[in-house]
Amino acid sequence: MIVYKFGGASVRNADAIRNVASILKSCEAEHLVVVQSALGKMTNHLETIWKEWIEGEKTDSSLEHFKNYHLSIAKELKLNDVCLVPLQAMFSDFEKMLQATPPRDSDQAYDQIVSWGELIGTCLVHLALESEGLPIEWVDIRHVLRTDSTHRAAELDWERTRKQTDILKSHFEKGQRNIVLTQGFIAESTFGNTTTLGREGSDYSAAILAYLLDAQSLTIWKDVPGMLNADPKWFNHTVMIPSLSYKEAIELSYYGASVIHPKTIKPLQNKSIPLFVKGFLSPTEKGTEISENAMAEQPVPMYIFKPKQILISISPRDFSFIVESNLRDIFEAFALSGLTINLMQNSAISFSVCVNEDMERISRFIDLMSSNYAIRYNQEVELLTIRHFDENTVRQLAQGKEVLLEQRSRHTLRMVLRKKV
């Protein structure tokens, strides 16, 4: 048993889906679970539909674009009308949902909307792979993964999920090759509502299934040949890391490395399941192995760049010291407002954090805190993390920028920067 995970870029068009079919055909595993994200950038588009829905605006145009995107791929894949009946039925159900009144909780409405990217995307890919003669079955992962009722960042209920694992196991017959295709990112709450595991949560979904099924390995297929020491969108002359330990990978994902979701490593580490990060455009290349004992021969500097950040500073209005009771209030407000802290630092009378630019949630946080605390913030800042840093590189990357906050440890440097005016 092995698990593969394909992201949106790997299934963004007909050629990409044919490439996935080729990768699956070359896989020699008897039993294979495939976890797939929404096609291309459809989650972003569904977020537009969500906003239109909760604000009472017409969704017709956005929905038509969503449908046409998938149907144009189906046409290029030469899937006939009879073959597309399941897909058309899903479109119909989605349209009916949009005609209903959205729930009062906008986050619950978000999960209801964006989940259609995974459901419809996997339905289309399943039909395409089936037409290629692959022995594949489609499974709704919401029947397996159970979570609490937190929307947009649900916590997995491991005990209840374990009890549902037989739903997946029932699709595998000994001595026969079987492939199950299912969705990443989405799950179901105790009350039967659709939940999501957070943006880019499909990696985590795949790790959960690898753990529950005692998989031999998990492979995440990316548009890069493996783990790079930096995101090529922001840095030139990147190099690939052939191997990493679980510990190093956890550090990088915690700091925001975009290749791996932060929660992905722990379930794999618990059962010593190796993780391979490979490029779907060069599937025969080795990629990066992340495992218990794997280590790069010589650590190279690794750069993690997070643009569109906001630096928030929080101070008690009575100028008292920041003590445990203040921190309790602050962290509770962050949890209630749904903000994720990317960096934090405190002084005697101030507590500073760096968060993603999300003014709706930041406004919610300020409303919760403003009666007892003074809140100041800087917009348009960047968070740069350098793992295994050297001073020369630090000077080069900080050139022309103002350092608003800096943290150093033995191996890691983190800086909040903004352009000098």
Contact 127, 87 (CB under 8 A): yes
Q: What angle do CA 337, 340, 344 make, to 5 degrees?
A: 115
Contact 392, 361 (CB under 8 A): no
Q: How far is 408 from 398, CA to CA, in rounded Å?
A: 15
pLDDT at 295: 63
Q: How far is 202 from 183, CA to CA, in rounded Å?
A: 8
DSSP symbol at 184? S
Give the global pTM: 0.86
The helix, strand and coil proportions of the chain, stated in percent and rounded to the nearest 5, come to: 40, 25, 35
* Among the listed residues 376, 225, 378, 229, the one whose alpha carbon sits nearest the alpha carbon of residue 305: 229
| Number of DSSP helices (H) and strands (E) in the chain, helices first | 13, 17
Look up the CATH architecture of domain 302-419.
2-Layer Sandwich (3.30)
Q: What angle do CA 398, 412, 266 make, to 5 degrees?
A: 130
pLDDT at 390: 84
DSSP symbol at 56? T
Give ranges for CATH 3.40.1160.10 in the chain. Answer: 2-216
Contact 248, 295 (CB under 8 A): yes
Q: How far is 246 from 269, CA to CA, in rounded Å?
A: 7
Give ranges for CATH 3.30.2130.10 in the chain. Answer: 302-419
Burial class of residue 176 in the structure, from the number of CB atoms within 10 Å of its CB (0-12 exposed, 13-18 middle, 19+ buried):
exposed
**Which amino acid does the sequence have at 45?**
H
- Largest interatomic CA distance in the chain: 72
Q: How far is 178 from 171, CA to CA, in rounded Å?
A: 7
Report phi then psi at 103, rounded to 5.
Answer: -65, 155
pLDDT at 252: 83
Helix (H, G, I), strand (E, B) or coil at 249: helix
Give Cβ neighbours of residue 378 (< 8 Å, ≥ 6 apart).
Answer: 310, 311, 404, 418
Burial class of residue 321 in the structure, from the number of CB atoms within 10 Å of its CB (0-12 exposed, 13-18 middle, 19+ buried):
exposed
Is domain 2-216 annotated with CATH 1.10.540.10?
Answer: no
The CA distances from residue 20 to 15, 29, 259, 262, in Å, are 9, 15, 19, 25
Which portions of the chain are predicted below pLDDT 50?
none
Contact 3, 218 (CB under 8 A): yes
